[in-house]
Structure 1
Amino acid sequence: MAFILMPLYTLHFTTGEYGVMDMATILITLLFPILTLLISEGMLRFILDDKANVKFYITESFVVMTASCMVLLALLPLLDLPIFGGLGEYKWWFLLSYIALCFPTVMSTVARALDQTRLMAYASILSAILMGIIAYVTIARMNLGLIGYFYSYIIGNGSAALIYIVGGRQYQFISLSEWINKRHLRKDLWRYSLPLAPNSLCDQIQTTASRLILTGTLGISFSGLYAAASKIPNLLNVLQQIFSLAWQISTFQEFRSRSLKHFYDVIWRGYNAIMVLGSSLVILLTSFIAKILMQGSFYAVWPITTILVLSFYLASLSNFLGTIYQAYMHTNSLLLGTFAGTMVCIAWTATTVSHLGIVSAATGALIANLLIFIIRAIDTRKFMKIDFHIYKFLTTLFLLAAQTTIVFLQFTQYQVFSLFCFLGITLIQCFELLPFMKIIVKKKEQH
């Protein structure tokens, strides 16, 4: 929905206002793993293995969510610091926005654990519709500016929580007696969850540090421009989330099966093909998409989007490999690559921002995600040796990198060369998708 509403934001917000909005978004995303320690992810993993103690795991998660809101309340005065670019003026709206994200997030994870997939769809649709309507009314019609954004964010996400409470009756799984009497289960739950928090935190620090460096060095307006360029890759985020929701639970369920490696080999082929084709298509159409989504002065930074798309593609591959650590419950190993990538991203952005401007943040993210992928591709082999189809993969990656460079630098006839790269990638990946197409055709024939 943030992607769909982007033209509304870029048309009615100044670059400074957009920067404040983005600062609020990334801080909420950053604080969530810090304050909740991603206990909800541990809850999901343990519920799938231990159905008898569902109430304890769910209650533990809601207790942690409530505590995180109280901690944030105490930290609100820090938002008045200059580094946050004026977000302190909206500190109470920021707190409500965090609460509106926090509880629906854990509720959606509960729904996944309890196989309430239809409920998740209803909640997402209602939330998106309300967010869009309220944003249009409050920003375009009532001219409330950033306050209108906060209204839409809080009410939109809050409606999702209402769906989970009423439709999913998740309140029946909250039991203080179970939470007290089965506290011996807490140790294993936290042992699994704790490494996930710093791993997610490092991911968010990449984004947050880049924004803070841009804000501190160039000003909040430049941070707003970079934020706008970062939104176009969100097109691909939809694809990634669909796959992630499906294969994460399937991986946990297949863990004790001998066919786990085969499962990963097959999923890798389909996942990589979809993500690289989507990335190449977005790069091909970036200038056209930007004309629609990036109004006024925001349009000038559209070439940076190509670098961010390539970076997102590499990050999506790293996330795929990350599920191997979670399946084998070796979440400590997740930190190795993520921490290294984060440090490289911060160092690169800080040292090059005065020369490259906002391009420094984009290239920093790209270098970091490439490093994380390489580390995980090597490290996960101690658990499972995935067949990457290395020659096809490297050829495809080369074509995608070439397409990114050509469009970013806007060579003569760059759109023609970009099309050739896309067609080359499509030709290679069609062979990777062929087994999936055969399965789909076979199932249709059976019906």
Structure 2
Amino acid sequence: MILGASANGIYAMVNRFPTMVTTLTSIFFQSWQMTAIEEYDSKDSREFISNVFEYIISLIFLFSLGMLSVLKPMIRILLATDYYGGWKLIPIMLLVSIYTITSGFLGVLYTASKNTVGVFYSTLLGAIVNVLLTVSLIRWIGVYGAAIANAISFFSVFLYRYIHIKKLGKIQMNIAKFVLLHILLAIAAAINYEVNNSAFVFIVVLICIIIQISIDRRIKVIILDIVKVIRRA
């Protein structure tokens, strides 16, 4: 209604790429819900849930960095020229996917604890934040306002759920790693915005990926497991 059909079309088209991240995790969540219910009341449930959560965070940030490393060439190949400018939305919308996945992970814990009131309040909070920010930002910065409003609203849901579930003693997140991964993602996004040389962008973002792998022991474990599987094959 405000920006017209063309802006809506661009938003819809570029949204397919961050949606890849959530689609990849949808299979996991089907099994995670069963596991969470079974393990929720166990003696070591906090350690188990926290470990799984850290693996999820590591993987979705790694996948997001990988997408940003080839963002512009990927858009040129997969989308028509008219939609190319929409690539600038993708870094913001990757954050939407990240917060959607993390809040969804925590939402399963409400089901496991039979305390779904937290789902209602957190979702209501996210909806209110989303509507208010979208209405105000979209008139100011256009389609970017919709993406930013989405990111902030889903972060609000994630933060509410994390604080609540942490108080229940069921989860503990590595805050320092979470912040550092955001910094790496911000660097990868900034280099895409500021530099047109795709090779240079790839090198810088690859360095960000190497930094994540070097400091994140969970990624190292996953890579070693993949290598073992490949060798056996």
Range of TM-score over shorter length: 0.7 to 0.9
Deviation, 1:441, is: 8.4
Native 8 Å contact 2:122 2:157 kept in 1: yes
1:266-293 CA-partner distances (Å, limit 9, x unpaired): 2112211111101111122221221122
Deviation, 1:334, is: 1.1
Alignment of 1:44-443 (within 5 A): 216-407=1-192, 409-411=193-195, 415=201, 416-429=203-216, 431-435=217-221
**More displaced, 222-231 or 241-250?**
241-250
Larger Rg: 1
Residues 442/363 of structure 1: CA separation in 2 closer, same or farther (3 Å cut): closer
Residues 227/389 of structure 1: CA separation in 2 closer, same or farther (3 Å cut): same
Native 8 Å contact 1:310 1:404 kept in 2: no
Native 8 Å contact 2:126 2:157 kept in 1: yes
- AA partner of residue 205 (structure 2): S
Number of equivalences: 228
TM-score between both structures, scaled by the size of structure 1: 0.47
Native 8 Å contact 2:45 2:170 kept in 1: no
Q: Which residue of 2 aligns with 1:174?
A: none
Residues 344/411 of structure 1: CA separation in 2 closer, same or farther (3 Å cut): farther
- AA partner of residue 410 (structure 1): E
Secondary structure of the residue aligned to 1:241 is helix
Alignment of 1:23-42 (within 5 A): none
CA distance in 1 between counterparts of 2:43 and 2:13 reads: 45
1:365-424 CA-partner distances (Å, limit 9, x unpaired): 1111222222111111132342312222221122113322332x3346671433332332
Q: Identity percentage over the alignment?
A: 25
Secondary structure of the residue aligned to 1:302 is helix
RMSD after superposition? 2.5
CA distance in 2 between counterparts of 1:254 and 1:300 reads: 46
- AA partner of residue 135 (structure 2): A
CA distance in 1 between counterparts of 2:6 and 2:92 reads: 20
Residues 217/337 of structure 1: CA separation in 2 closer, same or farther (3 Å cut): same
CA distance in 1 between counterparts of 2:121 and 2:11 reads: 28
Unmatched 5+ residue regions in structure 2?
none
Residues 340/227 of structure 1: CA separation in 2 closer, same or farther (3 Å cut): same
Residues 248/355 of structure 1: CA separation in 2 closer, same or farther (3 Å cut): same
Residues 385/219 of structure 1: CA separation in 2 closer, same or farther (3 Å cut): same
**More displaced, 293-302 or 380-389?**
380-389
Native 8 Å contact 2:46 2:172 kept in 1: no
Secondary structure of the residue aligned to 1:386 is coil
Residues 441/425 of structure 1: CA separation in 2 closer, same or farther (3 Å cut): closer
Unmatched 5+ residue regions in structure 1?
1-215
- AA partner of residue 236 (structure 1): V
Residues 223/437 of structure 1: CA separation in 2 closer, same or farther (3 Å cut): closer
CA distance in 1 between counterparts of 2:191 and 2:29 reads: 31
Q: Which residue of 2 aligns with 1:82?
A: none
CA distance in 1 between counterparts of 2:222 and 2:86 reads: 38
TM-score between both structures, scaled by the size of structure 2: 0.86
1:226-273 CA-partner distances (Å, limit 9, x unpaired): 101111112212321122122111111223422322220221122111
CA distance in 1 between counterparts of 2:230 and 2:17 reads: 35
Native 8 Å contact 1:265 1:387 kept in 2: yes
Deviation, 1:440, is: 7.8
CA distance in 1 between counterparts of 2:110 and 2:59 reads: 23
Native 8 Å contact 2:62 2:209 kept in 1: yes
Deviation, 1:339, is: 1.7
Residues 385/394 of structure 1: CA separation in 2 closer, same or farther (3 Å cut): farther
Higher relative contact order, structure no. (Cα contacts within 8 Å, ≥ 6 residues apart): 2
Native 8 Å contact 2:134 2:145 kept in 1: yes
1:304-323 CA-partner distances (Å, limit 9, x unpaired): 11110122112211111111
- AA partner of residue 258 (structure 1): K
